[in-house]
Homo-oligomer: A and B are copies of this chain.
Amino acid sequence: MTYDLDGLSKELLLDMYYKMMLIRRFEEKVVEMYRAGEIPGIAHGYIGEEGVAVGVCSALRRDDYILSTHRGHGHSLAKGIDPKHLMAELYGKKTGVCKGIGGSMHSTEPEVGVIFSSAIVGGNIPIAVGVALAFKMRREDRVVVSFFGDGATNTGAFHEALNLASVWKLPIVFVCENNFYAISMHVSKSTSAKEIVDRAVSYNMPGVVVDGNDVIAVYNAAAAAVNRARKGEGPTLIEARTYRWLDHGMYYLGKYRPEDEVVMWKQKCPIRTLRDRLLIKGIATEVELNSLDEKVVHEVDEAIRFARESAEPDLDFVKQFVYVR
């Protein structure tokens, strides 16, 4: 096909563009509404890292499962959660993906393959291994992705989980989003391995480094790892290097990053990069891309409206969901 970029279909490329833009605009609105006092609690933005979630999730089937983190909005949207339901969750409303009980950090929507998000750093990784075990034991050809940050690679949970996944050769891909910081802690001060990806050696699994701001590179790396997992060849560790533009969460926690580092990374915006390539290669026109941009703005506005208008759960309502009875 003439419209391919690196062998990818136009449809897929535009979908990746659209998803990244959706995440970007969604997160911008979250910041705005958080500041306006409409969104309670704590939340963590994904702006700047869109290439990772979108590249990885685009390489998955709908029935493959992902497990996410405190910084999970991007993963949820990339895997296909309706922005209305995600926004309603952030607003703490009954119509939210978790009925307002989970909030920003605990998205679950098995229908589209978002099985669970943990707010405990490293917490999802052992659970992801168990999900992969279930797939393997039932001889399903489904694959699991566990997302986590650079900081998470120093938790015991990471170590135990990757070891177990490897000895049991499970269909799982571990995606480390290395944005170089765990809150204020630079990866070079927290993580003794020369490169995070070197930790794959410890589990005798392939380790791959990828530019997380190049969504196509991410897609290709993920597709290879997913393929390997689906064929029963076991897990892979992917280290996707990227950067968060915002502060760790919604509060300013002080200065711990050099200005020019932030500026440098903003120049490597994953969305602009893809947009430029699509235009230069003639795969899409300005008009096409602008219409996606508008669609996204509309969808996010719609999500806000939906969230605002939805009802808040009360105590009796939430009590129903503790036990299966």
Contacts and interface: CB of A to CB of B under 8 A. Distances in A.
Contacts of A310: none
Interface stretch (A69-77, A84-92, A109-117, A158-166): A158-166
A193 B198 contact: no
Which applies to chain A's interface (DSSP): helix, strand, loop or mixed?
A: helix
Interface in A141-166: 154-160, 162-163, 166
Nearest to A126: B156
Given A201-B201, A202-B202, A166 B192 contact: yes
Nearest to A188: B167
A130 B193 CA distance: 20
Contacts of A190: 167
A227 interface: no
Contact of A155 (B160, B193, B202, B205): B160
Interface string A175-205: 0000000000000011111100011011111
Interface string A200-239: 0111110000000000000000000000000000000000
B154 A163 contact: yes
B199 A202 contact: yes
A72 B157 CA distance: 27
A167 B191 contact: yes
A95 to B, nearest CB: 38
Among A193, A199, A202, the most chain B Cβ lie within 10 Å of the Cβ of: A202
Contacts of A192: 162-163, 166-167, 202-205
A156 B199 CA distance: 14
B204 A194 contact: yes
Interface of A: 154-160, 162-163, 166-167, 189-194, 198-199, 201-205
In the complex, the 8 A-B pairs of residues with the closest C-beta atoms, listed nearest first: A156-B156, A159-B159, A166-B192, A202-B202, A192-B203, A199-B202, A201-B201, A192-B204
17 contacts: A154-B159, A155-B156, A155-B159, A155-B160, A156-B156, A156-B159, A158-B159, A159-B159, A162-B192, A163-B191, A163-B192, A166-B192, A167-B192, A193-B204, A198-B204, A201-B201, A201-B202
